[in-house]
Amino acid sequence: MTQTRRDTSPTDRREILDKERHAEIVKLFKEQTQVERLAAARHGIWEAAVIYMAFSITDILLIADVAKTVILSRFLITVIGLLLIEGFFYLKVRSETFDITCALALVLSYFAWLYPASMTSQTDNFRYYMVFGSLFMMSANLFFGFNIKLSIVTSSCVLGLFFWSLSSLSVADNAYITAFGTFYVSCFMFTSYVSLRLNRERFQVYLNALEAKEQNREATERGKALLRLSNTDYLTGVDNRRAIDQRLRDSWNEWQNGSAGFAAILVDVDFFKKYNDFYGHQAGDHCLVLVANALKNALIPFNASLGRYGGEEFIVVAPLVNREDVTRLAEIIRKTVEDMALAHDQRKDGLSIVTVSVGAAFTREQLDARLEKLITEADRALYSAKANGRNCVRIFDPADPLTGDDNEHIAALLRVAISNNLISLVYQPILNVETGEIDAAEALMRLKLLDGSHVSPAVFIPIAERTGSILDIGLWSIRQACHDILVSDAAPTVSVNVSPIQLKIKGFAARVAEILAETGVEGHRRAFEITEGINMDRQSVVLSCLKDLEAMGIRIWLDDFGTGFAGLSWLRLFNFDTVKIDRSFLLNVETERGGALLKDIISLVRNRGHKILVEGIEMEEQLKLMQQLKIDYVQGYYLGHPSPLDSFKSRLLA
Ligand code: C2E
Ligand code: MG
Ligand code: MG
């Protein structure tokens, strides 16, 4: 075939191709129209059989002498024909075999009428009656849907039988033969021509239908492609916001209708603006593409979908419903990006690679369940991850003040807390163990709700950190503590808690310097307590801010030492004036193991040259132990509860 094609001209080749295509379409036509052609033929044969039998009446009227034989003959051929046709239909033979059987039945039924009828003695009547033979010809060409070859062969047989009967008909004179012969021949030509036209028409109709189907298919494909395009993020190729919103809505509705729940995981590229500004937008785009591809691959085993939510934020919708699974996937997402190790040395937090912060929430039974609420929860978790130094994972927990549910009004309250006097300070004495004097007071913040109740700083400080209110209330507490304790000389030193988030805010040290100048007290009378909450290795901004504060004479204390993983790295990176050992170390101090642990931690801190303060002294024995251990400072309920300035002062006087 290939050889033939190479030897032929382009026109010939096109013709060959056209012929091949035509043959293929004809084959397709035959295949695809099988069932309907079969049904039409079956239907036709039954109708024809009824009409054929109905002509028994004319048999009786016109050729009464042989009517019995003719009717019997009609009946036999009808029954055999129908039985055969039904049998074939049952056996599901091809429509071609079926058509041949119909054609055969047609010729035989003509013969079955013609032959016994020709035996009649009512020759005149029979001569007229012969005209009905043309009906068989019409049936072959027009009634059944035979292909052109079969219909011509069938009608030729009818024509042949007619001429055969003429020869055997003694009464057929020349005029009769001329008139009826011409009639039969013209009938044959006319109906064959119409049959040819019909056949072409049928094929054309099929072709048109085929074409329409093809056009329809193409239109559907085009529609699908358009839909794909309108649902795809142009840059990364993952779902765009529209598509992912729809997916979220679908998952939500399915969950509402009783299917399993899902998790919404927000993924935000850390310091992406800095990346864009430094490396350029093209590199920024490339970075997003790489992150999207890596995430897409990492998500394959989880049957999760990934979408770009806008800018540098992605969202993952995953069929996960318990905390452990969601945490695991969120951590895989974080790690996937970290492992890519894409350079980003503009982030100024010690790290020099591209990382992501991940916040997730998952469906849970609750009052007022709404999809928007779930997304807000994931968003809050993401904020919390960002507030905690980025490159980390947070899962929304309604009981957790970091991401909690009821805290929106606290956030709102914090914004107006200072102007509405909702915020205040209480002071807790810090005792110098050696001298027995109150050497300092720790300022602890309190927030009053509108109903007069107080909220624990453990709840509102993280909210203030998340929403940024910490800057204002933090500076306010520094100024206020300075005023309360130092200006009025209530204690030699005041310590104020400062969160690492405050230290990261640009210009914090300068604002502190302003307060120092404003209140006119020396820096060294002030201590800042920093909690070892975040990993110092990655926080070069925090470190340089601490150094600036230290340069102003402010003493830097490390708070809650021993509660986080980061304490040791903090000790390594910064020379703290005092280390406050967390009160949890006093819990089992009377046991051998607990006592040894406290001693170990004390000697570790002492060997590094820091002063030591132990928090949470609640009993006399604990104070005695501290004296034995030669601890520098102690603090706790035994020595004094945190109290408002007035009672703090009056107790000192007492
Ligand atoms: P912290 O700095 O470690 O403060 C000590 C906490 O222990 C205080 O809780 C205090 O009331 C409590 N405490 C003191 N002595 C004892 C004791 O003998 N036994 C027990 N069980 N507890 C004792 P508070 O006031 O609820 O503060 C909790 C945390 O909130 C503080 O821990 C600090 O990290 C943070 N915080 C408080 N005020 C501020 C602030 O003005 N700024 C910032 N950034 N954080 C603050
Ligand atoms: Mg403290
Ligand atoms: Mg503490």
Where residue 8 falls among pLDDT bands split at 50, 70, 90?
Answer: low
Q: Is the confidence at residue 2, as pLDDT, over 50?
A: no
Query: Does residue 632 line the site of ligand 1, with CB under 6 A?
Result: no
447 lines ligand 1 (CB under 6 A): no
The answer on pLDDT for 4 being more than 60 is no
**More confident site: 408 or 390:** 390
pLDDT of residue 80: 93
Residue identified by tokens 């310091």 is: 271
CA dihedral 214, 219, 225, 231 (to 10 degrees): -150
Q: Are 38 and 136 in the same domain? A: yes
**For ligand 1, atom 37: residue with the closest CA:** 444
The answer to the question of residue 23 being in a domain is no
**DSSP letter assigned to residue 187:** H
In a domain, 358, yes or no: yes
Whole-angstrom Cα distance, residue 474 to residue 444? 11
Tokens of 38: 């079969």
Cα separation, 448 vs 420, whole angstroms: 10
For residue 215, being part of any structural domain is answered with: no
Q: At what angle do helices 371-387 and 457-467 cross, to 10 degrees?
A: 90
Q: What is the mean pLDDT of residues 132-139?
A: 88
Q: Does residue 6 register a pLDDT over 70?
A: no
Q: Which ligand 1 atom is at minimum distance from the Cα of 642? A: 11
Contact 257, 370 (CB under 8 A): no
DSSP annotation of 232 reads B
Predicted pLDDT of residue 390 = 85
Among 405, 435, 454, the domain-final residue is 405
Q: Name residue 521's amino acid.
A: V
Which residues fall inside 5 Å of ion ligand 3, going by CB? 559-560, 615
Atom of ligand 1 at shortest range from CA of 502: 44
Where is pLDDT greater, at 621 or 408? Answer: 621
Q: Are residues 248 and 136 in the same domain?
A: no
- Rounded Cα distance, 548 and 145, in Å: 100
Ligand 1 atom at minimal distance to the Cα of residue 445: 38
Mean pLDDT of 302-309: 93
CB 533 less than 6 A from any atom of ligand 1: no
For residue 317, the model assigns a pLDDT of 96
Better pLDDT: 520 or 287: 287
pLDDT in tens, 194-212: 989 988 888 888 888 888 8
Q: Taking residues 14-35, report their average pLDDT.
A: 73
Check whether 31 has a pLDDT greater than 80.
no
Distances (CA, A) of 280 to 284, 338, 345, 348: 6, 21, 14, 18
What is the pLDDT at residue 5?
46
Tokens of residue 143, six digits: 């009634």
Taking Cα atoms as reference points, which of 380, 438, 436 lies closest to residue 404?
A: 380
> DSSP characters for 48-89?
HHHHHHHTHHHHHHH-TTTHHHHHHHHHHHHHHHHHHHHHHH
What one-letter code names the amino acid at 386? K
Ligand nearest to the CA of 454: 1
Q: Could you give the 3-state DSSP secondary structure of residue 393?
A: strand
List the Cα angle 5/10/14 in 5-degree steps: 80
Instruction: Give the per-residue pLDDT at 636.
Output: 95
pLDDT at 565 over 60: no
> Is pLDDT above 50 for 409?
yes
Going by alpha carbons, the residue nearest to atom 3 of ligand 1 is: 560
Domain contains 439: yes
Do both 454 and 595 map to the same domain? yes
For a substitution probing ligand 1, which of 460, 496, 497, 529 has the most ligand atoms within 8 Å of its CB?
497
- Alpha-carbon distance of 332 to 309, in angstroms, equals 19
Atom of ligand 1 nearest to the CA of 580: 3
**CB 529 near ligand 1, within 6 Å:** yes
Q: Which amino acid is at 204?
A: Q
State if residue 444 touches ligand 1 by the CB under 6 angstroms criterion: yes
532 & 628 share domain: yes
Are both 247 and 277 inside the same structural domain? yes
How confident is residue 505, by pLDDT bands cut at 50, 70 and 90?
confident
DSSP state of 239: B
**In this structure, is residue 19 part of a structural domain?**
no
Domain with 475 in it: what CATH number? Answer: 3.20.20.450
| Weakest mean pLDDT among 6-20, 96-110, 343-357, 610-624 | 6-20
Residue bearing the CA closest to ligand 1, atom 11: 642
Residue closest via CA to ligand 1's atom 8 equals: 444
Query: Domain check: are 416 and 559 in the same one?
Result: yes
Residues 458 and 604 in one domain: yes
Quick check: CB of 389 below 6 Å from ligand 1? no
Count of the separate structural domains present in the chain: 3
**217 phi, psi to nearest 5 deg:** -65, -45
385 located within any domain: yes
Q: Which of 402, 414, 444 to mutate to test the pocket of ligand 1 (most atoms within 8 A of CB)?
A: 444
- For 614, the domain range is 410-653
**β-strand 438-448 against 423-432: which pairing, if any?**
antiparallel
Alpha carbon of 210 to ligand 2 centroid (Å): 82
Number of Cβ within a 10 Å radius of residue 476: 16
Grouping H, G, I as helix, E, B as strand and the rest as coil, residue 307 is strand
Distance CA(445)–CA(475), nearest Å, equals: 12
552 burial (CB, 10 Å; 0-12 / 13-18 / 19+) is middle
Q: Are residues 393 and 507 in the same domain?
A: no
637 lines ligand 1 (CB under 6 A): yes
Q: Of 357, 376, 405, which one is at a domain's C-terminal end?
A: 405
The CA distance from 392 to 338, in Å, is: 10
Contact 622, 638 (CB under 8 A): yes
Q: Kindly list the distances between the CA atom of residue 32 and the CA atoms of 26, 28, 598, in Å, as whole numbers in the listed order.
A: 10, 6, 89
Q: Counting atoms of ligand 1 from 1, which one is nearest the CA of 496?
A: 41
Q: Give pTM, 2 decimals.
A: 0.50
Q: Is residue 531 within 6 Å of ligand 1 at its C-beta? A: yes
In the chain, the largest separation of any two C-alpha atoms, in whole Å, equals 156
Contact 391, 334 (CB under 8 A): yes
How far apart are the CA of 522 and the centre of ligand 1, in A? 25
Encode pLDDT of 77-114 as tens digits: 999 999 988 998 888 888 888 889 889 999 999 999 99
**Residue 564 pLDDT grade (very low, low, confident, very high; cuts 50, 70, 90):** low
CA of 560 from ligand 3 middle (Å) equals: 4
Q: Ligand 1, closest atom to CA 465? A: 44
The pLDDT assigned to 1 comes to 40
Nearest ligand, measured from the Cα of 457: 1
Distance 221 CA to ligand 2 centre (A): 66
Asked if residue 9 belongs to a domain, the reply is no
Among 232-246, 255-269, 382-396, 486-500, whose mean pLDDT is lowest?
382-396
Ligand 3 centre and the CA of 580: distance in Å? 7
Give 36-89 pLDDT, tens digit per residue. 778 888 888 899 999 999 999 999 999 999 999 999 999 999 999 999 889 988
Amino acid at 394: R
313 and 400, same domain (yes or no): yes
Share of the chain above pLDDT 70, in %: 93
What separation in Å is there between the alpha carbon of 442 and the centre of ligand 2?
Answer: 7
Strands (DSSP E) found in 282-334: 305-310, 313-318
**pLDDT for 400 beyond 80:** no
| Same domain, yes or no: 53 and 162 | yes
Distance between CA atoms of 527 and 632, rounded to whole angstroms?
15
Tokens representing residue 261 in the block: 């729940």
User: What's the 530 CA to ligand 2 centre distance in angstroms?
Assistant: 7
Protein residue whose Cα sits closest to atom 46 of ligand 1: 497
Determine the Cα–Cα distance for residues 406 and 393; give it in Å rounded to an integer.
21
Q: Residue 441: CB within 6 Å of ligand 1?
A: no
Q: Which two tokens stand for residue 503?
A: 């230290």
Q: Do residues 247 and 239 touch, judged by C-beta distance below 8 A?
A: yes
Same domain, 401 and 423: no
CA of 497 to the centre of ligand 3 (A): 9
CA distance 224 to 593: 69
Provide the CATH number for the domain around residue 393: 3.30.70.270
Buried b (16+ CB within 10 A) or exposed e, 364-380: eeeeeeebeebbebbbb
Residues near 460 by beta carbon (within 8 Å), at least 6 away in sequence = 401, 410, 414, 447
Last residue of a domain, one of 382, 405, 428: 405
373 pLDDT higher than 80: yes
The verdict on the CB of residue 497 being under 6 Å from ligand 1 is: yes
- pLDDT tens per residue across span 206-265: 888 888 888 889 888 887 888 778 889 989 999 998 899 999 999 999 999 989 999 999
Ligand 1 mean position to 410 CA, how many Å? Answer: 19
Which residue, judged by its Cα, is nearest atom 24 of ligand 1?
457
Same domain, 391 and 260: yes
Average pLDDT, the chain: 87
**Confidence bin at 626 (pLDDT 50/70/90):** very high
Which ligand 1 atom lies nearest to the CA of residue 464? 44
Please report whether residue 229 resides in a domain.
no
